[in-house]
Structure 1
Amino acid sequence: MSEPIWSLGLMSGTSMDGVDAALLLTNGEEIAAFGPGAETGYRPGDLTALAEVAKDWRRFRPASGMAAEVLARAEREVIVHHAAAVTRLLAETKIAPEAIGFHGQTVAHAPDEGWTWQLGDGAALARMLNRTVVWDFRSADMEAGGEGAPLAPFYHFALARHIGAAAPVAFLNIGGVANVTWVDPSKPSPEAEGALLAFDTGPGNALVNDWMQARAGAPMDRNGEAAAAGRVARERLSGNAAAAFLARKPPKSLDRNDFSAALHAMDGLSVEDGAATLTALAVDCVVAARAHMPSPPSRWLVCGGGRRNGTAMRMLGEALAEPVEPVEAVGLDGDMLEAQAFAFLAVRTLRGLPNSAPGTTGCAAPVAGGRVSAP
Structure 2
Amino acid sequence: MLMTAIGLMSGTSLDGVDVALIKTDGRRVTALGPSGYRPYSEPERSLLRQALAQAVELTRREERPGVLGEAERMVTLAHAEAVANFTAQHRITREQVDIVGFHGQTVLHRPSQRLTVQIGDAAALARAIRVPVVHDFRAADVAAGGQGAPFVPVYHRALAQALDRAGPIAVVNIGGVSNISYIDGNDLLIACDTGPGNALLDDFVFRTSGQPFDTEGRLAAQGTVDQTWVAAALQQPFFVLPPPKSLDRNEFAALALPDLAPADGAATLTAFTASAIAAIVPLLPKPPQSWIVTGGGARNLTLLRMLRDKLSPAGVESADALGWSADAMEAQAFGFLAARGLKGLPLTYPSTTGVAIPMTGGLIARP
Normalising by structure 2, what TM-score?
0.94
Which residue matches 2:362?
A: 370
Q: Could you give the per-residue CA deviations for residues 110-158 of structure 1, whole angstroms, max 9, x where no partner exists?
A: 1222211100122221122211110100011112210100000000010
Q: Could you give the per-residue CA deviations for residues 294-345 of structure 1, whole angstroms, max 9, x where no partner exists?
A: 1122200000111111111101101112000001121111110000000000
What are structure 2's unaligned runs of at least 5 residues?
none
Q: Could you give the per-residue CA deviations for residues 73-105 of structure 1, whole angstroms, max 9, x where no partner exists?
A: 221111111011111111123442100000000
Which residue matches 2:209?
A: 216
What are structure 1's unaligned runs of at least 5 residues?
188-194
Specify which of 79, 86, 94 is matched with residue 82 of structure 1: 79
Q: Which one-letter code corresponds to 1:294 in the other structure?
A: P
What SS does the aligned partner of 1:230 have? coil
Which residue matches 1:184?
A: 184
User: How far apart in 2 are the matches of 1:228 and 1:177?
Assistant: 21
Structure 1 pair 300–62 and aligned structure 2 pair: CA distance change class (3 A): closer
Structure 1 pair 134–63 and aligned structure 2 pair: CA distance change class (3 A): closer
Cα RMSD, aligned residues only? 1.9
Which residue matches 1:191?
A: none
User: How far apart in 2 are the matches of 1:64 and 1:27?
Assistant: 32
Stretch of structure 1 that moved more, 219-228 or 349-358: 219-228
2:350 matched to 1:352?
no
Which residue matches 1:291?
A: 282
1:60 Cα deviation from its structure 2 partner: 5.3
1:48 Cα deviation from its structure 2 partner: 5.4
Q: Which one-letter code corresponds to 2:253 in the other structure?
A: S
Structure 1 pair 242–282 and aligned structure 2 pair: CA distance change class (3 A): farther
Which residue matches 1:203?
A: 196
Q: Could you give the per-residue CA deviations for residues 197-216 of structure 1, whole angstroms, max 9, x where no partner exists?
A: 10001111111111112222
User: How far apart in 1 are the matches of 2:91 and 2:24?
Assistant: 17
1:35 Cα deviation from its structure 2 partner: 0.8
Which residue matches 2:38?
A: 40
Which residue matches 1:246?
A: 239
Q: 2:111 touches 2:145 (CA, 8 Å); kept in 1?
A: no
User: How far apart in 1 are the matches of 2:89 and 2:263?
Assistant: 41
Which residue matches 2:163?
A: 163
Normalising by structure 1, what TM-score?
0.92
What SS does the aligned partner of 1:20 have? strand
User: How far apart in 2 are the matches of 1:165 and 1:103?
Assistant: 31
What SS does the aligned partner of 2:23 have? strand
Alignment of 1:134-153 (within 5 A): 134-153=134-153
Q: 2:14 touches 2:48 (CA, 8 Å); kept in 1?
A: no
Which residue matches 2:27?
A: 29
Which residue matches 1:261?
A: 254
